[in-house]
Amino acid sequence: MAPPYRILVCDLRSDALIDVLPVHGVALDDYIGKTGRLTGTVPIPNAALADRARRALLPGRTALWVERGREIWWGGILWTLNLTSDARGFLGAEIQAGGWESYLYRRELHDTLTAAQVDQFDIARQLVDYAQNTPGGDIGITYDTGVSDVVRDRTFSRYDLPTVGDLLDDLAAVENGFEWRISSYRDADGRRVKRLRLGHPVILSGAADIVLDHPGPVLSYSWPTDATAKANGWQSRGASINTNQAVDSVPLLSPLLIADDDLAAGWPRLDGSSDYTTVEVQGTLDAHARADAAAAVTPLTIPALTVLLGGNVTPALLGATVRLRIRDLWHPTTLDARYRVVGMSITPPERGRAETAQLFLEAP
């Protein structure tokens, strides 16, 4: 039998435990490069539980931790609460929460920050420090002090009113950039931890590959192939650089980048572009363009596997490498390849429903 799930309801700023509430229909997911989400419904069968839920569930102020047994499997912020009543008068409080990353997309930069030849990880930590050092801004995000050995020059202008989350995404998305996420776990002393994880060029976890077979532990899979995002011609636009009001304003442009090898291989010309309206430095814009162009030539295919949860399949798999082996009509010669887990969607067990996880993969 799977260990029970519990939802710990805490104060966002202090992390003080407020209550432990029952939740039905829980679904939760977590990703690298995308904010995870939790949904569920708190049943309201009597006045006592209604009073507890009313006091505990305060959107924008409440933190939610998901426990499986004694392990923390997810953490985030309650953002919406929808009280519903059905035709028979049964009440339920539908909740929706976003991972800790969602907080950084709600924090704006109100001061200009500069960095000259600073490691990109230190710039990322400076942005998180900015968010947490303002009055009321500290929600307990911690980090280590590792570096990427890639230095950047950056000026973040307060006049753009960017969010900290968007600045982190832009910093990470440049050529030779990095990945970031905020993980949730319980440390050796039993404390709940929100940890900023930075990985260059990607976040990696675990040492040994986990083998997944279909037929076998892989119950089902989907393997999308989508060329709508493919491009072998690319140009990026930056901020307006015109200071003469007497002539038309034009944006900064990167060079037009053409993937000649792709065209020589027989692909038709497919164009794409990206906008960085706050980038005023040609070198920075060009680095964004090169990263975007490289990603667009061969868009990522993200296979999804559905597996039974438990054993080695836990949220700690994010960033880990799995060895996937598939043999079926499409793969008469067994597919045997390694992929990195970049996302996980968990469905806890309920009556008549097994405990499963959907794993989202990319080639390492």
The domain 104-199 is placed in CATH, from the list 3.30.379, 3.40.50, 3.55.50, 1.10.60, at 3.55.50
**What is the helix (H) or strand (E) element at residue 170, kind and residue range?**
helix 164-173
Tell me the CATH class for 210-225+301-362.
Answer: mainly beta
Do 115 and 152 form a contact (C-beta atoms < 8 A)? yes
Say if pTM beats, i.e. exceeds, 0.85: yes
> Do the two domains 5-99 and 210-225+301-362 of this chain adopt the same fold?
yes
Sequence ranges of the domains in the chain: 5-99, 104-199, 210-225+301-362, 233-297
Question: What's the CA dihedral at 247, 155, 104, 200 to 10 degrees?
Answer: 120
How long is the chain? Answer: 364
pLDDT tens, N- to C-terminus, the chain (364 residues): 567 788 999 999 999 999 999 998 899 999 999 999 999 999 999 999 999 999 999 999 999 999 998 899 999 999 999 999 988 889 999 999 999 999 999 999 999 999 999 999 999 999 999 999 999 999 999 999 999 999 999 999 999 999 999 999 999 999 999 999 999 999 999 999 999 999 999 999 876 788 999 998 899 999 998 899 899 999 999 988 766 666 677 889 999 999 999 999 999 999 999 999 889 899 999 999 999 999 999 877 889 999 988 778 889 899 999 999 999 999 999 999 999 999 999 988 877 778 899 999 997 6
What does residue 219 show for φ and ψ, rounded to 5 degrees? -75, -40
What architecture (CATH level 2) is domain 5-99? Roll (2.30)
